[in-house]
Amino acid sequence: MSTANANSGANAPVLKLADLVGGRKPVEPPFVFSDEERHEIEHELGHYDDNRAATIEALKIVQKHRGWVPDNAIAPLGEIIGIPASDVEGVATFYNMIFRRPVGRNVIKLCDSISCFLTGYDEVREAIIRHIGVGLGQTTADNRFTLLPICCLGACDKGPVAMINDDTIGNLDPTQIPKLLEQYP
């Protein structure tokens, strides 16, 4: 199975063998919010009687702009919100829709809850894995797809269901998977 290396994201430092042997940590570029990110996060703070409540939204803003939430974004987020970095990390590792590793250009979230299970989840999952060549929790080497499991998407009458990026797609047919995924370059 060909999976993209977890460190292959745009912002991730290059780890050299000599560094590992010498016990040196790679130097990470400092995390800097873009003006847009900072503006959006500050706007969110106004919606709550306590800034902490904007933590999840702030993480989602970073993810919207960068595709995922890099480790070195955690402390600056704590500063802008006014809470300890450990609290931001606690939240960022709790919620499954906050990505802590780079994901592909298209994220397939495949529902594996009971109604989809009864209507053909196993066959759809196998068809997707066969087509993209990686399993659940993995990203293709060309960075095109990440496949993730997700709980009930609230479209059970149309099972099996998946979300690809923001599109909810029902009545998935294993034979139509290649045609469907063609639409996501």
Partner 1 sequence: MTAPAEIRPLTAHVAADGAPLSLKIYEATGGYRAVRKALKDMQPGDVTKTVKDANLRGRGGAGFPTGVKWGLVPMGDAAPKSKYLVCNADEMEPGTFKDRLLMESTPHQLVESMIIAGYAMQATRAYIFLRGEYVLAAKNLNAAIAEANAAGYLGQNILGSGWSMDLHVHTGAGRYICGEETALINSLEGRRANPRAKPPFPAIAGLWGKPTVVNNVETLCNVPHIINNGAEWFVGLNQGKSKDGGTKLYGVSGRAKKTGLWELPIGTTAREILEVHAGGMKDGLNLKCWLPGGASTDFLMPEHLDLAMDFDTIAKAGSRMGTGLLTVVDDKQNILSVVRNLEEFFARESCGWCTPCRDGLPWTEKLVRALERGEGQEGDIETLEQLTRFLGPGKTFCAHAPGAMEPLQSALKFFRAEFEAGIKKASAQAAA
* 156 touching partner 1, by CB under 8 A: yes
| Distance, C-alpha 121 to centroid of its chain | 21
What does each C-alpha distance from 114 to 43, 72, 152 come to in angstroms? 39, 38, 8
Which range in 1-9, 32-40, 124-132, 154-162 contacts partner 1 by CB under 8 A?
154-162
Which range in 1-9, 19-27, 28-36, 88-96 contacts partner 1 by CB under 8 A?
88-96
One residue of 20, 97, 130, 142 binding partner 1 per CB under 8 A: 97
Q: Which residues contact 149 (CB under 8 A, 6 or more apart)?
A: 109, 110, 112, 136, 137
Rounded to 10°, the helix 55-66/74-81 angle is 140
Of 36 and 48, CB closest to partner 1: 48
One residue of 28, 36, 50, 126 binding partner 1 per CB under 8 A: 50
Which range in 24-32, 111-119, 133-141, 177-185 contacts partner 1 by CB under 8 A?
111-119
Of residues 52-71, those binding partner 1 (CB under 8 A): 52-57, 59-60
Which range in 4-12, 26-34, 108-116, 174-182 contacts partner 1 by CB under 8 A?
108-116
Looking at residue 140, the DSSP 8-state letter turns out to be B
Cα–Cα distance measured from residue 143 to residue 56, given in angstroms and rounded to the nearest whole number: 26
Cα–Cα distance measured from residue 3 to residue 152, given in angstroms and rounded to the nearest whole number: 26
Cα–Cα distance measured from residue 118 to residue 106, given in angstroms and rounded to the nearest whole number: 26
Q: Which residues bind partner 1 (CB under 8 A)?
A: 47-50, 52-57, 59-60, 81, 83, 87, 90-91, 94-98, 109, 112-115, 117-119, 150-159, 163, 166, 168
